[in-house]
């Protein structure tokens, strides 16, 4: 038979939310309880590079006869429902093209092989699933020559990992919760390009390289099920934060951007502490970072830095290029003294990131 190997490569960046996704209204389709908004980090700093290939010949060898994924050289399980949902949807779209044009090779029937590399330590506890699923979806979409827009691909990536839908775009990205029961309107859109606010920077501070204790999926489940505070977050806090954040970005108002970012992170971690039993993602080192940002802002006499924490102890600090001296300078100084900061890991990452 045909032994031709078809191949496509792509990269996808990491994104860090400033209004957090936390809670699912449908766990099978990854439909969120609220909209969220993130900043996409520069690909030169944090990204996943994925090559997708397929061939009729793969079916004849036992190692490649079923779909497979190699992440940083290690085989990963692709039989999970999330990954399967992405493969199924991508194949369905390819099959539709093949049905409409019989001259196209039947790639949808071949086993898929994915090879991924992260350019940052996977063990650093940084949200790697967002870049991972975004790269997986786009690599296969490119391989299949699908005509789908980034917004349409975001619908597929969302089913891999919710936050992944936002990594299909650069710059400032919103994930609209949507209303439809089938999830057809729960997708990402770009609020502003990175170039809209070119002096935005992010500092990644690794408090612990250990894998997070409670997965985002079970943490969300527990929060939705047991936190009373969460109801308030969904009903009023997040809608207000989304509106304020979009305005702050449009107006390049860093003080407003920073306040909403810090308030939303605090609100998210408060709902985690309000679950029963409580979930703590932040630790003493994280709290030291919060105090350090407060001290930096107090010393500057205005808000020059904003912290945010995901489902783990590591901090991301947003600031503007013009304020890198008080922000990065202070952290370099402070981190020398605070115990618990993994400096080796920090050194392995470029601490100052542009966002293009």
Binds ligand PMV (CB under 6 A): choice among 33, 36, 118, 330:
36
Q: Considering only 19-27, 56-64, 253-261, 300-308, which stretch makes contact with ligand PMV by CB under 6 A? A: 19-27
Binds ligand PMV (CB under 6 A): choice among 33, 53, 129, 297:
129
Site for ligand PMV in 211-270 (CB under 6 A): 216
Q: Beta strands of 193-340 (E only): which ranges?
A: 200-205, 305-309, 315-320
Binds ligand PMV (CB under 6 A): choice among 12, 13, 14, 20:
20
Q: Give the whole-angstrom CA distance, residue 318 versus residue 295.
A: 15
How many residues belong to the site for ligand PMV (CB under 6 A)?
13
- Which residue number, 15 or 303, has a Cβ lying nearer to ligand PMV? 15
Q: Considering only 17-25, 101-109, 201-209, 233-241, which stretch makes contact with ligand PMV by CB under 6 A? A: 17-25
Q: Give the whole-angstrom CA distance, residue 81 versus residue 89.
A: 12
DSSP string, 28-86: TTTEESS-EEEEEPPTTTSEEEEEEEE-GGGGGSTTTSS-EEEETTEEE---SHHHHHH
Least CB distance to ligand PMV at residue 214 (A)? 11
- H or E stretch at 172: strand 172-175
Query: Angle, nearest 10°, between helix axes 216-226 and 254-273?
Result: 80
- Which residue number, 52 or 282, has a Cβ lying nearer to ligand PMV? 282
Q: Are the beta carbons of 352 and 199 closer than 8 angstroms?
A: no
Name the strands in the sheet holding 36-40, side by side, starting at the edge strand that comes first in the sequence: 15-19, 36-40, 172-175, 188-192
The residues facing 31 across adjacent strands are: 26
Q: Considering only 41-49, 100-108, 155-163, 176-184, which stretch makes contact with ligand PMV by CB under 6 A? A: 155-163
Q: Give the whole-angstrom CA distance, residue 311 versus residue 268.
A: 9
Q: Is 128 a binder of ligand PMV (CB under 6 A)?
A: no
Output DSSP code: residue 110: S
Q: Give the whole-angstrom CA distance, residue 266 versus residue 20.
A: 10
Q: Considering only 47-55, 116-124, 160-168, 292-300, which stretch makes contact with ligand PMV by CB under 6 A? A: 160-168
- Which residue number, 80 or 329, has a Cβ lying nearer to ligand PMV? 80
Binds ligand PMV (CB under 6 A): choice among 14, 21, 93, 233:
21
Least CB distance to ligand PMV at residue 78 (A)? 17
Q: Considering only 42-50, 157-165, 198-206, 341-349, which stretch makes contact with ligand PMV by CB under 6 A? A: 157-165
Binds ligand PMV (CB under 6 A): choice among 13, 23, 111, 162:
162
Alpha carbon distance, N-terminus to C-terminus of the chain: 44
Site for ligand PMV in 293-332 (CB under 6 A): 310-311
Most distant CA atoms of the chain, gap in Å: 71
Structure tokens at 2: 């045909």
Q: Give the whole-angstrom CA distance, residue 5 versus residue 88.
A: 20
Binds ligand PMV (CB under 6 A): choice among 48, 53, 154, 163:
163
Q: Give the whole-angstrom CA distance, residue 209 versus residue 125.
A: 5
- Which residue number, 129 or 154, has a Cβ lying nearer to ligand PMV? 129
Q: Give the whole-angstrom CA distance, residue 330 versus residue 296.
A: 7
Build a one-symbol-per-residue string for 85-124: x at contacts with ligand PMV by CB under 6 A, - elsewhere: ----------------------------------------
Binds ligand PMV (CB under 6 A): choice among 54, 127, 140, 306:
127
Residues that bind ligand PMV (CB under 6 A): 17, 20-22, 36, 127, 129, 161-163, 216, 310-311
């Amino acid at each position: 038979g045909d032994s031709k190997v078809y191949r496509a490569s792509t990269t996808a960046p990491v994104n860090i939310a400033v209004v957090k996704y936390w809670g699912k209204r449908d766990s099978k389709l990854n439909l969120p309880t609220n909209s969220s908004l993130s900043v996409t980090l520069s690909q030169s700093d944090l990204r996943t590079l994925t090559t997708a290939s397929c061939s009729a010949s793969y079916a004849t060898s036992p190692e490649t006869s079923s779909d497979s994924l190699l992440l940083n050289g290690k085989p990963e399980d692709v039989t999970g429902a999330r990954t399967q949902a992405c493969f199924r949807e991508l194949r369905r779209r390819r099959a539709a093209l093949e049905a409409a044009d019989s001259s196209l090779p039947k790639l949808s029937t071949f086993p898929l092989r994915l090879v991924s590399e992260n350019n940052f330590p996977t063990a650093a506890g940084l949200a790697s699933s967002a870049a991972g699923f975004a790269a997986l979806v786009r690599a296969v979409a490119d391989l299949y020559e699908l005509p789908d827009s980034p917004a349409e691909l975001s619908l597929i990536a969302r089913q891999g990992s919710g936050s992944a839908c936002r990594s299909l775009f650069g710059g400032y990205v919103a994930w609209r919760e949507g209303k439809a029961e089938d999830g057809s309107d729960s997708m990402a859109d770009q609020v502003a390009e990175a170039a809209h606010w070119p002096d935005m920077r992010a500092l990644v501070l690794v408090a612990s390289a250990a894998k997070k204790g409670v997965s985002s999926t079970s943490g969300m489940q527990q929060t939705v099920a047991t936190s009373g505070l969460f109801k308030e977050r969904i009903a009023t806090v997040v809608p207000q934060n989304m509106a304020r954040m979009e305005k702050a970005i449009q107006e390049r108002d860093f003080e407003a951007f920073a306040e909403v970012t810090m308030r939303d992170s605090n609100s998210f971690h408060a709902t985690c502490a309000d679950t029963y039993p409580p979930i703590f993602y932040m630790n003493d080192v994280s709290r030291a970072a919060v105090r350090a940002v407060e001290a930096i802002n107090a010393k500057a006499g205005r808000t020059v830095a904003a912290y945010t924490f995901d489902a783990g102890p590591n901090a991301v600090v947003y600031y503007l290029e013009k304020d890198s001296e008080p922000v990065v300078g202070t952290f370099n100084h402070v981190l020398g003294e605070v115990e618990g900061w993994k400096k080796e890991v920090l050194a392995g990452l470029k601490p100052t990131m542009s966002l293009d």
